[in-house]
Amino acid sequence: MPGNEIAGAAALVTGASRGFGSGIATALSKAGANVVGVARDRGPLEELRAQLGESFTAVPADAADPVVAGQLIDAYRPAILVLNAGATPLPRPIQHHTWQTFSRNWDVDVAHVFHWVREALLAPLAPGSVVITLSSGAALRGSPLSGGYAGAKAAIRFLTAYAAEESQRAALGIRFVSVLPQLTPATALGAVYVAAYAAQQGVEVATFTDDLGPALTPEQTGKAITDLVTGPGLDQDAYLLTAAGLRALT
Ligand SMILES: NC(=O)c1ccc[n+]([C@@H]2O[C@H](COP(=O)([O-])OP(=O)(O)OC[C@H]3O[C@@H](n4cnc5c(N)ncnc54)[C@H](OP(=O)(O)O)[C@@H]3O)[C@@H](O)[C@H]2O)c1
């Protein structure tokens, strides 16, 4: 989608109320899109609406509910769909997980991507639409303190690639791309894991974050997602995202 076409485009962001989702909704809104933001807790969504004004519509809902996915795809037909919502798993070694805690990110993150991607293909969204999913750098190297999180995020990358193949097979013209952000202390979810890994290694949080390098921020994530939508040459299926920017994964 060329940069000048983002103005006035309909965008929908799941998990828009804080962290990366808030940064993404803000960047898309500032680029001129009409953004629908979905999260369960109404309060933070309303705060974002107060900041962004009429270009932002707050929809308090469970993004992992298949009925919500169907209703909102039908209602808004987004040209830009960002599937960012994600649960924070319990930070524990594997033997301290139950099957229910282990599979939380499958029940929320993967289920929501599955439902929305399916609805996007079936609708289908208009040719030229872009669907971006939030996987994780953990999908490349594991995340030993977060149960099934890394596997769930790897499944999201696969699901997104399968959808890209189906879009191509049916000549739908819908682009599907996954983004794998690096762990960052700059969001609620990331801060939990930075603290957990620092404690496991017996180092201060500041020491651990120094070793991680520059922290990826919600603002940088918002810019990266906007670049992916509009930028020329960013046409790969998956990207690693760090504070240094996007890097294509092959
Ligand atoms: N931060 C990191 O270091 C990092 C690294 C790699 C990948 N990621 C991924 O990036 C995404 C965003 O992470 P974040 O760090 O910004 O997390 P966060 O700060 O915890 O924000 C999560 C957002 O998702 C929403 N959410 C959670 N469950 C939901 C549901 N069932 N339905 C609708 N909304 C839901 C939350 O709002 P409510 O609770 O009000 O619903 C919130 O808006 C996640 O998919 C995460 O796995 C994060």
- Cβ(108) – ligand 1 distance below 6 Å: yes
pLDDT, tens digit (0-9, with 9 covering 90-100), for 26-46:
999 999 999 999 999 999 999
pLDDT, tens digit (0-9, with 9 covering 90-100), for 106-134:
999 999 999 999 999 999 999 999 999 99
| Mutation probe of ligand 1 site: the residue of 189, 212, 242 with most atoms within 8 A of C-beta | 189
Atom of ligand 1 nearest to the CA of 108: 31
Sign of CA dihedral 144, 145, 147, 148: negative
DSSP 201-243: HT--HHHHHHHH-SPP-HHHHHHHHHHHHH-TT---SEEEEET
Burial (CB count within 10 angstroms: exposed 0-12, middle 13-18, buried 19+), residue 76: middle
User: Which three-class secondary structure state does DSSP give residue 136?
Assistant: coil
- Cβ(86) – ligand 1 distance below 6 Å: yes
**What pTM did the predictor assign?**
0.98
Residue 79: the pLDDT is: 98
| Mutation probe of ligand 1 site: the residue of 40, 217, 225 with most atoms within 8 A of C-beta | 40
Bridge-based pairing state of the strands 238-242 and 245-248: antiparallel
Residue 220: the pLDDT is: 98
Residue 232: the pLDDT is: 84
